[in-house]
Amino acid sequence: MIVFAPNYLDALYRISAKGGDATPVTTLDHSRQENSHRWPHFLPDSHHFLYFVRSSQRENQGIYVGSFDSKDKRLLVSASGSAAYVPPGYLLFVRDGTLMAERFDANRLQITGDSFSVADQVGYTLNMGSDFSASDTGVLTYRHGGSSQLVWFDRGEDRSSQ
């Protein structure tokens, strides 16, 4: 299954990896002034996914969890950009330029801890979302502000080449 946003001002759609017709998997709620659903990220069970909801009402904007089995959605955290799930159970997201993390139970689809800062001044582009990525092995990459230089950090040791 592939989940995507066909354009900037739309909900999310899904299509089989084998082809076929695209069908809506989320619906914009105009009563909550939602104007975009973006940047889906699958959870380990492959039936649930994280996604960003942009809204003119700041209290409705953030990272939501959705499902292929239901049209229900639930706000997990207030955020200003994309999110990712990272084993063994963290939700990464950007809030006001800061990359944050929270413990997340992917089986119960619930936050289980307090937010903490991972990196400041994380880059953001309107169409691509927050400029970070994390692997299942714990490797984290992000773009710092407007920088385009890559730097390697290893838990306290800077191994960059200038």
Q: Tens digit of pLDDT for each residue in 17-65?
A: 999 999 999 999 999 999 999 989 999 998 999 999 999 998 999 999 9
Band (156; pLDDT cuts 50, 70, 90) = low
CA–CA distance, 3 with 40 (Å, rounded to integer) = 7
Residue 91: enclosing H or E segment and its boundaries?
strand 90-95
Q: DSSP string spanning 114-143?
A: --EEEESSB-EETTTEESEEE-TTS-EEE-
| pTM > 0.85: yes or no | no
β-sheet bridge partners, residue 101: 92, 116
Query: Which domains are present in the chain?
Result: 2-158 (2.120.10.30)
Backbone angles phi, psi at 132, to 5 degrees: -145, 160
Give the pLDDT confidence of 76-92 residue by residue, as tens digits. Answer: 999 888 899 999 999 99
E-assigned strand segments in 43-89: 48-55, 62-67, 70-78, 83-86
